[in-house]
């Protein structure tokens, strides 16, 4: 129902000249008037009882100072009217299932299970074309998010996740207003509905302060690339993979745990490339049972290659029906979690002989019939798939995706395994006890190390043996209390790099304790700006072990984030770190540990001690719980932590408040 | 001319019943008889003066023991007949330019500039289909290599490189019989003709002995991924990128040096993804001059985004002719090496209004006309490109590639820059003086360190200050000769890990020298199998610096290979190494250094000394030259080398002969 003060008709439709004059029961308004008119229109919509609107106009917050006044009026109008909006500055939305096109596309996209959220109108067109070129399963709801002045990512994924008609959510994202709220929503939505995301603006990193190692290693892209999968979001690297992977996840069952892929092929080259790509993606090949191999040989002949990949080469010229037969045999092997069929099947009648067409179509029908009886996902590559073949369409109509690119088929298979693994960990993950009730405010700037350790201990982190001391005499007493030689260090909230200015003495015994304390005191008084307010911290020496790093930061996007990796002074240069949103369970911490290169040393590499990874994971988890209770946290470095056969020793702790 | 003893006709052609009965002047034979008959047929071909043959049969060397007798007969027949063959076990070859299909494809592939070498018949079909789906430039010669019993990679690329009709060579490779010969040929061919390679069997690593660090870090895939680009080969990671990149390289000029990409777009999302992908690929964006920006504003309006990316968004609805205008302006900016146009251009008439079709086609014609006047490469992405649009075909007929995938467009652009950079270094690269005349045989097994250092010194490697000593007294004398404290180490060809069994004493002064030597001698005599034949090596201590690694190996595929990276005992765990075929120039060594993570430390990170990278590069180059003269070399480790502000100090040298 077009509305315009001038009245008349548009495309033959009578134009209502006032919103108030509309009949009751209008669901949604599409507002295509300039920015400055939008707030008043929203208020009129509210009065008319219209619950939602799409606001296309630009000229709001994205124009900086030029749009800020209009943006403010918009927000007031939203509050006053109670109307919920998509936009402003959006290309609009399409509900393909309801056949409502609020974008103005030349034709309604095909109805299907993939829903789309995007911060770019161009990506909507790309996804529509990509679906067209692979004859994909089609779309449910497509939303251009625009400025997200009102409805944003978190509400949208929750709503899409509730829709029976949505099988997967494909997102093109250029950043989050509130990433923490998104990952909380994503974690819940992902339990039932897969979310696949392509991220833009990855190459632009925010400038960061660097009072700590964490500050300088925690790049926005690195954090996002770990935190999003932690919450179930499947990330894709390439724009041309977003639609294929979302299509597969929306239409296909998941592999069982502890299984692998069976690759069914008709020649060596494609098989080799598939095995390589699966290996790089970390997806295992299935080990076939002897029974399976014997059954395959019956179909393919005694000479056939029935390891994995399974090569039908010798049999195929005569018989396209070997494909359904082999797929059925493979799917019955408990080791097989997914059957990936690659090569020419569907195009034999093009390559060899038109007479094979009927046999291929029949084989495709048999495969679809079998698919209804199994929960094993079937994925197809066909190098002729761009030709829109009948047999490919039979498979697709049966809910089986066929890709012209081997890389898409493999990337999709990987996504299915990634999702199956993620889901399997959801039940066993206990996020531990977060003492949310305890709130400790971190003082601004650097804290003295003893203060930092005390705060962490109160919050349940075992910071090991250490003593605070105020003068040389108490340093001596503290050293005497430890069985081994000690490190005597400056304890100050002023000095950032204490070792650079003589604030650290190592290997101190009772005999050398006073001298060490005096040396530190001398060093402090001889600074250009003498350091006056300081004490000492005494810790037992830990001589050899693996140097590790545990840090935390309050990421502007994702909130409290934990860092783990190789420790020592070279943290930034070595850059062997990984990230997770806090809090996290020991099981999640174990995943973190195993992602780093230093994990290899922890297994007892060469003369290195074998470290108890579970203790380490418990420690990381305890730090992640603690930082949830730290208000005003900017950055925390526990570096190095020395890991030995006997335990985990936090050697230095640095805490910085905002 | 079909030949078969039974005579008759095939497809209406009269069958000659004996090779001898053929007319003279036959160029090539396609032999489609079983393996055991092939040797005799070749001898008959030779007698008839037929110079070449394609041998399709399998059942030779690839069948292991079952085929080895036939393989031997084949080799004898090749020697006797003088016939050169492609195969056996090949799908055949096609010369599209000469319209000779020796594979038996359903139709002759389109004639064009891309030549193909592949070890998989399936990949030929994939490349044909990929060319079809992007309406690519077509093919010159396509060869299935088969077993390479005779003609192999090196001869084929040399021949293809000489063909005027070949613009690029696309290779699908599953390994080399002689990789050294291939890279030598590739280096020459690449000067004029680009070689693009997709590698299979990357996930399968050969088992390797590990008497040295080099032995355990030099995986086949890692070496190939560095050595091939060193010689000009452009590697692609994904099977779906091989054809697009080869098509682009075959048809497009190269960017000038010290330039970047100008991204011309019609909206933010595609632009963001392109910038991200270019950034990941290490391709710079061009900085546009103020003049360029002013000229762009004249076309696009004062409000338009004319940084880089350049967004035509505000202007486009009316005027497709902004594209040729903007491309012309961008190409005239000296900072712009390549114009990448992305988004919808070509599909505006689909997205918005059919009336735009004519304008788009006209704009495409203007772009093609402009292309004839410029050497700046133009690359296009169009999200509607799968629809076979008229304007895309106009561009393609004008030698401009249009891709439906943004990722292919970016990967292709990257390949153009990679090739331009590689070519630019060819003139300035002096491989140094290789003393090929000197040949030194490395004894089998481990050499004593003093032996190793002597060999390297003779071959021009500066192994620094060190002394050999035979007993405690001469150790003391050697230590006295150095101005600093020394390391006193066991010198033995028996002990592999000398520090593990008390063979290394550090910080030794004149006073402690004899005791150190005695300790080592005691440790040797107390071994379960006492070490009797040993001496000592004395080197001055180098206390702080960056620990580096230089190694060498005789790779079974590529021959002498040099390794550089982070050094120390953790080499395998840190895995910060890169590889090159030896010999290499200091300039190539500098590239190596800058590829590693440790390079950051060499620039004076934190308190680290700033190291002279040129001296280091000279050292690496000298080692690479030396190993060319070492016969029977298995592995060489110089680890650690301590790099300081003052110099490069090889601390430990380990040489292993085969």
Query: pLDDT per residue over B376-385, tens digit each?
Result: 999 999 999 9
The angle, 0 to 180 degrees and rounded to 10, between the axes of the packed helices A268-280 and A406-428 is 40
Structure tokens at A206: 């925010």
User: Band of the pLDDT at A437, cuts 50, 70, 90?
Assistant: low
Half-sphere exposure at residue B319, Cβ-oriented, CA atoms within 13 angstroms: 13
The residues in B 280-339 lying below 8 A from A, measured between CB atoms, are 280
Is residue B205 predicted with pLDDT exceeding 70? no
CA distance A317 to A356: 9
pLDDT at B209: 37
- In angstroms, the separation between the Cα of residue B354 and the nearest Cα of chain A is 10
- For residue B417, cis peptide bond before it (omega within 30 degrees of 0): no
Q: Contact B149/B78 with Cβ under 8 angstroms?
A: yes
Residue A268 forms contact with B (CB below 8 Å): yes
CATH of the structural domain B466-540, one choice from 3.30.420.40, 3.30.1490.20, 3.40.50.20, 3.90.660.10: 3.30.1490.20
Identity of the residue in B351, B383, B570 whose CB atom sits nearest the CB atom of A106:
B351
**What is the average per-residue pLDDT within A301-326?**
83
Condensed to tens digits (0 to 9), the pLDDT of residues B439-450 reads 899 999 999 999
Condensed to tens digits (0 to 9), the pLDDT of residues A122-156 reads 999 999 999 999 999 999 999 999 889 999 999 99
Tell me if B607 and A574 make a contact (CB, 8 A cut-off). Answer: no
Condensed to tens digits (0 to 9), the pLDDT of residues A608-621 reads 788 999 999 999 99
Which is more confident, A501 or B536? B536
- In angstroms, the separation between the Cα of residue A200 and the nearest Cα of chain B is 6
C-alpha distances out from residue A98 to A101, A144, A585, Å: 9, 17, 42
Is residue A599 predicted with pLDDT exceeding 80? yes
Q: Contact A469/A475 with Cβ under 8 angstroms?
A: yes
Say which residue the tokens 């992908």 belong to.
B277
CATH of the structural domain A252-424, one choice from 3.20.20.70, 2.40.160.50, 3.40.50.261, 3.10.180.10: 3.40.50.261
Tell me if A122 and B267 make a contact (CB, 8 A cut-off). Answer: yes
Identity of the residue in B105, B126, B272 whose CB atom sits nearest the CB atom of A174:
B272
Backbone angles phi, psi at A565, to 5 degrees: 170, -160
Tell me if A569 and B598 make a contact (CB, 8 A cut-off). Answer: no
How much of chain B, in percent, has pLDDT values that exceed 70?
95
CA distance B608 to B34: 68
Tell me if A407 and B122 make a contact (CB, 8 A cut-off). Answer: no
- In angstroms, the separation between the Cα of residue B269 and the nearest Cα of chain A is 5
Q: What is the pTM of this model?
A: 0.92
CA-nearest of A622, A646, A629 to A638 is A622
Residues of B in contact with A268 (CB under 8 A): 120, 122, 174
CA-nearest of A613, A283, A558, A268 to A421 is A283
Residues of B in contact with A270 (CB under 8 A): 120, 122-123, 126, 239
Residue A500 forms contact with B (CB below 8 Å): yes
- In angstroms, the separation between the Cα of residue B343 and the nearest Cα of chain A is 7
- Mean pLDDT for chain A overall: 91
pLDDT at B60: 85
User: Band of the pLDDT at B202, cuts 50, 70, 90?
Assistant: low
How much of chain A, in percent, has pLDDT values that exceed 70?
95
pLDDT at A424: 93
Count of pairs with CB atoms under 8 A, one residue in A, one in B: 165
Pairing of strands B168-173, B111-118: parallel
Tell me if B273 and A174 make a contact (CB, 8 A cut-off). Answer: no
For B405, name the nearest residue in chain A, comparing CA atoms only: A240
Tell me if A240 and B406 make a contact (CB, 8 A cut-off). Answer: yes
Contact partners, residue A613, CB within 8 Å, separation at least 6: A590, A593, A594, A599, A602
CA distance A284 to A386: 28
Q: Contact B426/B191 with Cβ under 8 angstroms?
A: yes
Residue B198 forms contact with A (CB below 8 Å): yes
pLDDT at B213: 57
User: Band of the pLDDT at B504, cuts 50, 70, 90?
Assistant: very high
pLDDT at A208: 35
Residue A344 forms contact with B (CB below 8 Å): yes
Tell me if B273 and A132 make a contact (CB, 8 A cut-off). Answer: no
pLDDT at B499: 83
pLDDT at B175: 87
Is residue B14 predicted with pLDDT exceeding 80? yes
Is residue A318 predicted with pLDDT exceeding 70? no
pLDDT at A571: 79
Preferred mutation among A116, A200, A222, A272 to probe B, highest tally of B CBs within 10 A: A272
The Cβ of residue B484 has, within 10 Å, a number of other Cβ atoms equal to 13
pLDDT at A436: 57
Residues of A in contact with B125 (CB under 8 A): 344, 347, 351, 383-384
pLDDT at A205: 36
CA-nearest of A130, A171, A199, A195 to A405 is A130
Q: Contact B510/B480 with Cβ under 8 angstroms?
A: yes
CA-nearest of B91, B28, B25, B82 to B57 is B91
Is residue A573 predicted with pLDDT exceeding 60? yes
User: Band of the pLDDT at B545, cuts 50, 70, 90?
Assistant: confident
User: Band of the pLDDT at A207, cuts 50, 70, 90?
Assistant: very low
Identity of the residue in B106, B174, B406 whose CB atom sits nearest the CB atom of A351:
B106
pLDDT at B456: 96
Where along chain B do its domains lie? Answer: 9-236, 252-424, 466-540, 546-657
Structure tokens at A220: 């926005």
Is residue A397 predicted with pLDDT exceeding 60? yes
Q: Contact B55/B70 with Cβ under 8 angstroms?
A: no
CA-nearest of A201, A119, A191, A123 to A161 is A191
CATH class of the region B546-657: alpha beta
CA distance B267 to B285: 17
Is residue A526 predicted with pLDDT exceeding 70? yes
Structure tokens at B450: 């003093």
**What is the average per-residue pLDDT within B504-531?**
92
pLDDT at A324: 96
Is residue B275 predicted with pLDDT exceeding 70? yes
* Domain A252-424 identical in fold to domain A466-540: no
pLDDT at B347: 93
Is residue B256 predicted with pLDDT exceeding 80? yes
Condensed to tens digits (0 to 9), the pLDDT of residues B120-164 reads 889 999 999 999 999 999 999 999 998 899 999 999 999 999 999
Tell me if A270 and B120 make a contact (CB, 8 A cut-off). Answer: yes
Residue A519 forms contact with B (CB below 8 Å): no
Identity of the residue in B125, B276, B407 whose CB atom sits nearest the CB atom of A200:
B276
CA-nearest of B188, B340, B182 to B259 is B340
For B608, name the nearest residue in chain A, comparing CA atoms only: A570
- In angstroms, the separation between the Cα of residue A267 and the nearest Cα of chain B is 6
pLDDT at B141: 98
Beta strand spans in B428-519 (E): 440-441, 445-446, 467-469, 486-491, 504-508
- Mean pLDDT for chain B overall: 91
Q: Contact A550/A638 with Cβ under 8 angstroms?
A: yes
Say which residue the tokens 């290899």 belong to.
A600
The residues in B 55-74 lying below 8 A from A, measured between CB atoms, are none
User: Band of the pLDDT at A489, cuts 50, 70, 90?
Assistant: very high
Q: CATH homologous superfamily for B9-236? A: Succinyl-CoA synthetase domains (3.40.50.261)
Q: Is A214 exposed, middle or buried (0-12, 13-18, 19+ CB in 10 A)?
A: buried
Question: What letter would DSSP give residue B629?
Answer: T
CA-nearest of A398, A392, A289 to A341 is A392
> Would you report the helix, strand and coil content of chain B in percent, each value rounded to 5?
40, 20, 40
Tell me if A172 and B269 make a contact (CB, 8 A cut-off). Answer: yes
Tell me if A121 and B267 make a contact (CB, 8 A cut-off). Answer: yes
Tell me if A605 and B270 make a contact (CB, 8 A cut-off). Answer: no
Contact partners, residue A241, CB within 8 Å, separation at least 6: A198, A407, A408, A411
Strand partners, A633: A657
**What is the average per-residue pLDDT within A479-506?**
90
**What is the average per-residue pLDDT within A491-496?**
89
User: Band of the pLDDT at B319, cuts 50, 70, 90?
Assistant: confident
Identity of the residue in A125, A384, A500 whose CB atom sits nearest the CB atom of B383:
A125
Residue A122 forms contact with B (CB below 8 Å): yes
Report, in angstroms and rounded to the nearest whole number, the Rg of chain B calculated over CA atoms: 31
Say which residue the tokens 């993570």 belong to.
B597
């Amino acid at each position: 129902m077009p509305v315009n003060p001038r009245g008349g008709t548009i495309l033959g439709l009578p134009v209502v000249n006032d919103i108030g004059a509309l009949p009751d029961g209008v669901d949604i308004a599409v507002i295509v008037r300039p920015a400055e008119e939008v707030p008043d229109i929203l208020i009129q919509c509210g009065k008319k009882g219209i619950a939602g609107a799409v606001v296309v106009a630009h000229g709001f917050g994205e124009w900086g100072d030029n749009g800020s006044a209009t943006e403010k009026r918009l927000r007031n109008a939203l509050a006053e009217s109670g109307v919920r909006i998509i936009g402003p500055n959006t290309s609009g939305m399409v509900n393909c299932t309801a056949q409502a096109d609020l974008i103005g596309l030349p034709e309604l996209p095909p109805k299907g299970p993939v829903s789309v959220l995007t911060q770019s109108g161009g990506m909507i067109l790309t996804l529509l074309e990509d679906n067209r070129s692979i004859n994909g399963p089609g779309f449910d709801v497509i939303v251009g998010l625009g400025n997200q002045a009102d409805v944003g990512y978190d509400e949208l994924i929750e709503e899409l996740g509730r829709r029976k008609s949505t099988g997967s959510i494909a997102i093109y994202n250029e950043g989050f207003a509130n990433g923490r709220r998104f990952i909380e929503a994503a974690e819940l939505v992902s339990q039932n509905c897969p979310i696949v995301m392509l991220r833009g603006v990855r190459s632009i990193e925010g400038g960061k302060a660097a009072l700590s190692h964490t500050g300088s290693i925690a790049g926005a892209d690195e954090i996002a690339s770990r935190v999003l999968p932690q919450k179930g979001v499947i990330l894709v690297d390439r724009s041309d993979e977003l639609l294929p992977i979302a299509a597969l996840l929306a239409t296909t069952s998941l592999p069982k745990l502890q299984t692998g892929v069976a690759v069914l092929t008709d020649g060596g080259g494609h098989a080799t490339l598939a095995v390589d790509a699966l290996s790089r993606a970390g997806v295992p090949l299935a080990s076939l049972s002897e029974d399976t191999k014997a059954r395959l040989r019956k179909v393919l002949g005694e000479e056939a290659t029935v390891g994995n990949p399974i090569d039908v080469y010798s049999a195929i010229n005569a018989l396209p029906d070997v494909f359904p037969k082999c797929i059925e045999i493979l799917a019955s092997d408990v080791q097989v979690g997914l059957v990936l069929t690659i090569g020419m099947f569907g195009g034999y009648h093009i390559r060899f002989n038109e007479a094979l067409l009927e046999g291929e179509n029949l084989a495709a029908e048999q495969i679809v019939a079998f698919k209804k009886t199994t929960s094993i996902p079937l994925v197809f590559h066909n190098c002729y798939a761009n030709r829109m073949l009948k047999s490919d369409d039979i498979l697709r109509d049966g809910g089986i995706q066929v890709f012209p690119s081997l890389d898409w088929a493999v990337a999709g298979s990987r996504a299915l395994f990634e999702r199956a693994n993620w889901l399997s960990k959801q039940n066993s993950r206990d996020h531990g006890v977060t003492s949310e009730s305890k709130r400790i405010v971190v003082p601004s700037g650097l804290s003295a190390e003893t203060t930092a350790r005390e705060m962490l201990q109160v919050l349940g982190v075992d910071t090991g043996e250490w003593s605070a001391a105020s003068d040389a005499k108490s340093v001596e007493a503290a050293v005497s209390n430890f069985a081994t030689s000690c490190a005597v260090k400056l304890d100050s909230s002023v000095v950032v790099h204490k070792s650079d200015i003589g604030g650290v003495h190592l290997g101190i015994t009772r005999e050398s304790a006073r001298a060490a304390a005096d040396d530190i005191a001398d060093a402090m008084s001889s600074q250009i700006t003498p350091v006056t307010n300081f004490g000492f911290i005494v810790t037992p020496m830990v001589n050899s072990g693996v140097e590790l790093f545990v840090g935390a930061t309050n990421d502007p996007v994702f909130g409290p984030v934990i860092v783990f990796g190789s420790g020592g002074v070279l943290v930034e240069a070595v850059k062997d770190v990984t990230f997770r949103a806090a809090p996290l369970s020991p099981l999640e911490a174990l995943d973190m540990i195993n992602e780093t290169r230093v994990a290899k040393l922890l297994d007892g590499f060469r003369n290195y001690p074998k470290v108890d990874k579970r203790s380490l994971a418990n420690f990381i988890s305890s730090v992640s719980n603690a930082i949830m209770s730290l208000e005003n946290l900017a950055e925390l470095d526990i570096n190095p932590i020395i890991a030995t056969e006997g335990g985990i020793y936090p050697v230095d702790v640095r805490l910085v408040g905002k």
